[in-house]
A and B are shown apart, each in its own frame.
Chain A
Amino acid sequence: MNRKVDFIVRAQEAIDDTQLQSALAKAGNGFIDKRKAAADAEPDFEAMRDAAKEVRQRALKNLDVYLRYFEKKVIEAGGHIHYARTPEELRDIVIDLCKSRGAKYVTKGKSMVGEEAHLNEALLAAGITPWETDLGEYIIQLAEEPPSHIVVPALHKTRAQIIKLFKDAHPLGERDLSEVKAIVDEARAVIRERFLSADLGITGANMLIAETGTAVLCTNEGNGDLTACLPKTHIITTSFDRVIPTREDAAKIIRVLARSATGQKLTTYTSHFAGPKSATDLDGPEEFHIVMLDNRRSDILGSEYQEMLHCIRCGACMNHCPVYQTVGGHAYNAVYPGPMGAVLTPLLRGEPDDFDLPNASTFCGRCEEVCPVRIPLPKLMRQLRNRGASLKPPSLSAKLAMSSFGLLAKKPRIYRQLTSLATRSLAWAAGKSRRFKSLPMGGAWTDYKDLPAPQGESFQSQWRKKTSARGGSK
């Protein structure tokens, strides 16, 4: 059967991909343990989360004022600010800036908005070469793949795969790259040349501060700063909903960002950039440009999905998601994977298949538990399931199963009789072993674990017996 490639097909491919599973196993529960350790080390952690959520709420509540004030301050500082309604407009703006400044080689710090707008492909098509500088982004650039995680883009790559990519891409002769240090040292040497020779640097921004027209950039590698400060022109690709009022507000978000993402108290380099080099600065770029993307965020604003705009892009939700942990990020076929991507992708891109993503969840709720700004992700996914049902209706078999259940659920006596019959049959069929190693149509379960057979009586009937013995229910 020629099945269309959708999430279910990609998820199955991901489960069967031994290299991917090996990479995911290496990640394991590492992020979960680190985040927990960071949260436990901080007696005020819950208060910090509340403070970060309050900042995001307050920022959106009067975004009209903060956005205009931010623009004013950027311009006062000598910077330029551009607006893009769509990814295409963003690409055009960035390419125009590069061309008019004669930029042929540009260094890039990681920008999820840049990924969202498919910026690199557009730059290449326009004859401009982007050099990714974040090690994870560099690895996937060599592999010609999209990122699979918003913080650790090459999470899906094993060490062996990375070594092969480096050996193929860097003509440096015989050398031993089996140690992580050797790999990182090689990347450092190769990319250092690029930092020094780039015509222009493009980064993202973690936060935008209205009070001072500042963009905040958080990295561990230092690549963001080298991209922002060395070339003559610095372009920031970001979105208008990142604006927050003050530097104190930024501090509230900074407090929970790294702790939630990697368990660090702070990213090694947390930098605040405002405008180009002025008379009082010792160095800096001659030009500073911020490109603000909309791409339907202005539709999300004021809607029942507005809380999704609170997201600070820490990645904690996907780190804790059992679905993400099993299939990785590429199965989502989206720039933003995992729980936050399951909400954002249908909202920003809105293709019918995107509505598979909020369905790829058991609503275990771990994502909401760990979200530093307490976004109610399962609630938003549930809302999207309703919206998606009209765009991508469920299959006939799914509809039949749900309506049969609906019928039975309204007839409790028949429901109980049928389930009682089913449990007694299963118990009889399992026999002495009391478990099923295989079950017709139950392969999705029994391929991986045994199914214990129902034992004895149902809770309901035991309860009835107990309470009637005591002389009456309740």
Chain B
Amino acid sequence: MWVDEAIWGHRLYNEQTPWLCFMEFLNVLQAELDEGRAFLEDIPNNLAYVPKSRLHLRNILFNNPQLPVIARTYSNDDKEAWSKWQEAIIKGQSGIDNADFAYLEKRFPKFEHFVSVVQFLRETTIEGENNKRWSSQFIFPYGPNCLYEDLNVKENKSPTNDRRFFGRTGEMLYLMLVRSGRGPQLLVNFQESVLNKKNKFNRLVASLEPKDSMNSSTARLGVYLPYLELPEYQELAGDWLSLLESNIPKYDVIPHLVNIMGLHMIIYSLNRAKDVLEDDTKLTFVLEIVSPKKTIVRELSSDSFTEHNNMSRRAVEAYIRNVEQTEEWEKVTDLSEATSLLALKYEWPQENGIDSANSPEDLINKFISAAINRHKQHVDKFHGTWGKEIGLASRRGARRLRYAPQDMLLKSLVLCVVPKRMEFQDFLDKLYEKYGFIIGDKQALELTEAGRADLEAFSDNARRLEQRLASMGLLRRLSDACAYVENPFGIQEEV
């Protein structure tokens, strides 16, 4: 069926974390750059790119359990170590035809240097030690040679892209940035860091692959982003450029890019749901700055979270109910015409799909039910999963999930939003204007006027944020009434 995809695109995938979304994006960008098409889109939704598989590199780094044992056993005999290791890896590797690892011996004068390098690179694994299969482990993107796509690699079979962890959210991210129009500026910045093949660490990673390695990946097609223009695209690109063009060292900026991108994707997903629900009020988030005691703000932030968490499901139902308002539906006289209409527009029902419905109305109800079941598998979980991943949502000190930002996200926000120095109340205003964050009493006016909380609760909330930022070295109090948020990497001089 084509319901989630029509609303959000193909696709938002909860099992693809923000970091892996970023890695997928880099793979797309590098592949397109190789073809001279970076950040270009001639025909909408026609993206076809060829990522790299880099199976030698990945087998060496992540499918190589014998390495430490061999290193210890043959620590005084390099020749024997190399020989035994090559035997082991050729036998244990997967995904490479006619595997040959002899090229490594010439490159590493000592076996122990090879071992050190492998150990060092494994320590840069994205998201640290995790339980994912070896072919879904990624290293830090020092440069283009570190980029490869997620694959399912089984013994004696060709590797396939089963979309287990690269679920296309990164491809959608790529299209969003293309359509923001700020691709060229972004490209210039990326070419100095993650796309720079001359970087020393990138060359180190390149040394682990044979010169003429076969790329077993084929063209990837099929991504779909419904909207050609959206303000969200500009906002995302603008925030990334703020971060990239500030004074943060090139690689240190990446975790912040990931957090801010995650936030924008969440905003995108909620706004699309609001569009379907015909709700044009500003999207807002009540944020609790974690306090030791339970406060009214905590309850409101839980409610805010829950409301947003349910929004996409409501949107799916509304989207289908909208069918009943269309002219074509009004012309439908019987069940079989209804079935044909739905099948044409939404690819549902499939041929043998459902038990028979009694009437067009009944068919719609069955459709909603089927759509919501499908929605619940992935897109429904996107808001909650990504909220936790970027440190926007947490259960800290409570049972319910709510919006309670963690330090890493707060830091990303300061680095992104504050040019060099900004008065604290202005900072709160800016967070509200850009992201809809309600933290202090000024932004909470609507809530306090509706009697849901008093001003003091929110001004306490804001005061806790001041303290948090101060403890992170990001805020300076000049006097009782005057506090400045400071971005240690900001470039804008004071006006």
A binds B: no
Residue ranges of A at the interface with B (Cβ–Cβ < 8 Å): none
